[in-house]
Amino acid sequence: MSEKRLAVVTGATGGLGVAMCQALCDQGRTVVGTYYPDPQQEQQARQWQESMEQQGYSVHVRPLDVTDYDACAVFAADVEAELGPIDVLVNNAGITRDAPIKRMEPHFWQDVINTNLTSMYNLCRAVFDGMCQRGFGRIVNISSLNGEKGQFGQCNYAAAKAGVYGFTRSIAQEGARKGVTVNAVSPGYIDTPMVRQVPENILEGIIAGIPVGRLGQPDDIARAVAFLAADEAGFITGTNLSVNGGQYMS
């Protein structure tokens, strides 16, 4: 049984983040979920927290701009002062700014790289040393099917998500002898509100290309995260767990 440790999940109010927070609560963790600090997101975060509480899940909700190095350092220090050491970090925050390369504006590229990849450095930098000193840590970085195989119109997103693998494997080597594991999870197409916005004929084509014959569910990803975040997962590090229904095998 995993101990009552503190877990942080970034991008917690999205479809995958909700399921991750619930799975970590079920695992016995104290969970802090983050959201991007703007008025619209703040309102959604309050509603999300109320919904979680109605379902019996107690999650601490905090605003955080994961692209801001200094803000991440302050966030980690404040959380640890209030709730205790951060033992589990799930780097889940991510955005898309899709366009073919001929229309890929510089800010489309930089926004996605900063949010989907640099954010992982920002937060790992803030918590990694403490994990090593305490002799325990679980870091799970969320990549993507499209980071493994590439995707038309997503060179920024695919580049960021592919970068997750090199980042993960490198710091996994730094933490391995100190009780800190670092792994990645690569979701395929998951049944979230964002995916459901895809036109029906295109979505049908996507599902037809998935060997198991369906979209994944958020819980499919959350279970993978909880597995890698468990105290008992100490011999798994530097790996990527692909959860894509067999759509891409490597």
Residues with catalytic function: 157
Nearest to 74 by CA among 111, 114, 37, 47: 37
Bridge partners for 86 per DSSP = 6
Identity of residue 14: G
DSSP class of residue 101?
G
Whole-angstrom distance, CA of residue 162 vs CA of residue 211 = 23
- Using CA of residue 174, residue 4, residue 69, residue 16, what is the dihedral sign? positive
CA distance 181 to 231: 10
Task: State the residue for tokens 């325990």.
Answer: 136
Contact of 52 with 21, CB cutoff 8 Å: yes
What's the Cα-to-Cα distance from 238 to each of 26, 119, 120, rounded to whole Å?
25, 19, 15
Q: Are 36 and 65 contacting, i.e. CB atoms less than 8 angstroms apart?
A: yes
